[in-house]
Amino acid sequence: MTFTHEPFRAIEPEWSAEVLPLVVFPRSLPALASASTRGGRGWSQALRRCAERYLPRVGSILFRGFDVQGAVALERFGELFGASLAPLPAGAILSQNQPGRLWLGCCGESTLRTSLRVADKRELYRCVSPELRMRFTQRGLRYARVLGEAHRRWQDVFETTSRTAVEAWCSAHDLAFAWQPGDTLRLERPGAVIRQHPRTGTPLWADATPLWQLAQGVHEGQTGLADVARAPAAFELRYADGSAVEADVVEEILAAFTECATDLDIESGDVLLVDDLVISLWLPAAQERTVCLATDTPGSARLPS
């Protein structure tokens, strides 16, 4: 699809638009620089119209060719949409359980590429069996992740050495935390949350991203793909009463994500805008330092540097 009267062109994928991003290209360069010129207002209005029209349906928009490099440029880009962005620590996607918009920028050399996966939460809800949906509703889930020297250090995940800053961030995001021996941090919160899409009424998993992450971590531990020789385990996925989630349930969760997920490569200078209510974002740990992650969700906490 091409916008004939806008300063950019947008191309919807030929495959499922509910899964893959709408791709938006500028018609002229430099696009980002125009934000501070006389034409900046027109750019802002055009991009806002694009996001308001398409984001609730397709769930994600990939802006390519705008050359948004670094956290400062990402904040400026967000201002074109009237968004005040707050940086998120790279590993903090686990806490995302409220509708909002995530902004992900790929920063680095011009040849840099990074891979991630996206999945439509509405499609995921449909792919999971009715029996499993009922089980989660009746029994509830409990998500937990342990950060420490035996696994991933909390200093690396939260990109700070301040325990006070981490505690403030966790409290602001309703994430239970406990400091354990060996400079280890345990994060925990309840799930799974079922909501309805505000426009279509379609049911979906509101907290699909942490469910995806935790199921993958538990699976890797069960199959010996992760270092499970040291305690405690890095990932825990349990029912609300503390009992372990069965291995076949973990496999069904991952199978549903595999069926719904799409692999996406983003280039240096790209910005991926994600409606967190609609799309689940899988960012592999190895890629976390090549991206700038921010949110414009009201009340989002900002970790001090």
Contact 181, 193 (CB under 8 A): no
Q: Which tokens is 144 given?
A: 């937990």
Contact 138, 132 (CB under 8 A): no
User: Which pLDDT band holds residue 12 (cuts at 50, 70, 90)?
Assistant: very low
- SS3 per residue for 22-74: EEEEECCCCCHHHHHCCCHHHHHHHHHHHHHHHHHHHCEEEECCCCCCHHHHH
Q: Which tokens is 140 given?
A: 């509830």
Where helices occur in the chain by DSSP H, the ranges are: 40-58, 70-79, 121-127, 130-139, 154-158, 163-172, 208-222, 247-260
pLDDT in tens, 183-228: 999 999 888 888 887 777 888 888 888 888 888 888 887 766 554 4
pTM assigned to the model: 0.80
User: Would you call 299 helix, strand, or coil by DSSP?
Assistant: coil
For residue 62, which of 111, 109, 11, 113 has the smallest C-alpha distance?
A: 11
Sign of CA dihedral 25, 90, 117, 285: positive
Domains and their CATH numbers in the chain: 8-113+264-295 (no CATH), 122-260 (3.60.130.10)
User: Which pLDDT band holds residue 158 (cuts at 50, 70, 90)?
Assistant: confident
Q: Is the pLDDT of residue 39 over 60?
A: no
pLDDT in tens, 246-282: 999 999 999 999 888 888 888 889 999 998 888 888 8
pLDDT in tens, 84-93: 888 877 666 6
